[in-house]
Structure 1
Amino acid sequence: MINPHPGQDIKIKSYKHNGALHRVWDSSTVLQTGATSWIVGNDRILVKESDGNEWRTREPAICTFGKGQWFNTIGMLREDGVHYYCNIGSPYRWHNDALQYIDYDLDVKVFPDMTYTILDQDEYEEHRRLMNYPDTIMYEIKRGLDELLSLIHQRKGPFEADYIERWYERYLQYT
Structure 2
Amino acid sequence: MAGPNPGMQMEIQSYKHNGQLHRVWESSTVLKGNRNIVIGANDKTLVTESDGRTWLTREPAICYFHSMLWFNIIGMLRHDGIYYYCNISSPFVYDSEALKYIDYDLDVKVFPDMTFTLLDEDEYQQHSIEMNYPKVLDQILRNNIDVLIRWIRQRKGPFSPEFIDQWYERYLTYRY
Aligned to 2:135: 135
What SS is found at the alignment partner of 2:126?
helix
**How far did 1:4 drift?**
2.2
TM-score where L is the length of structure 1: 0.97
The CA RMSD measured in Å over matched residues stands at 1.1
Residues 65-113 of structure 1: CA deviation (Å, up to 9, x unaligned) = 1230000000000011100000000000013420000000000110000
Look up the SS of the partner of 1:47 in the other structure.
strand
How far the C-alpha of 1:139 sits from its partner, in A, is: 1.3
Aligned to 2:163: 163
Report the equivalent of 2:90. 90
Distance apart, 1:166 and its partner CA: 0.4
TM-score when scaled to structure 2?
A: 0.96
Is 2:109–2:116's contact at 8 Å kept on the other side of the alignment? yes
Of stretches 152-161 and 134-143 in structure 1, the one that deviates more from structure 2 is: 134-143
**Aligned residue number for residue 49 of structure 1:** 49
Task: Count residues in correspondence.
Answer: 175
User: What's the secondary structure of 1:118's corresponding residue?
Assistant: strand
The residue that corresponds to 1:110 in the other structure is 110
CA distances 1:127-174 after superposition (whole Å, capped 9, x unpaired): 001101001211111111111111001111100012101000001111
SS of structure 1 residue aligned to 2:7 = coil
Structure 2 contact 3–35 (Cα < 8 Å) conserved: no
Q: Any stretches of 5+ residues in structure 1 without a counterpart?
A: none
The percentage of aligned residue pairs carrying the same residue is 58
In structure 2, the residue matched to 1:29 is: 29
Provide the secondary structure at the position in 2 that maps to 1:114. coil
Deviates more, 1:94-103 or 1:22-31: 94-103
- The amino acid of 2:74's aligned partner reads I
Structure 1 runs of 4+ with >3 Å offset: none
Alpha-carbon distance in 2 for matches of 1:165, 1:34: 21
Alignment correspondent of 2:72: 72
Match of 1:146 in 2: 146
User: Structure 2: which 5+ residue stretches go unaligned?
Assistant: none
SS of corresponding position for 2:84:
strand
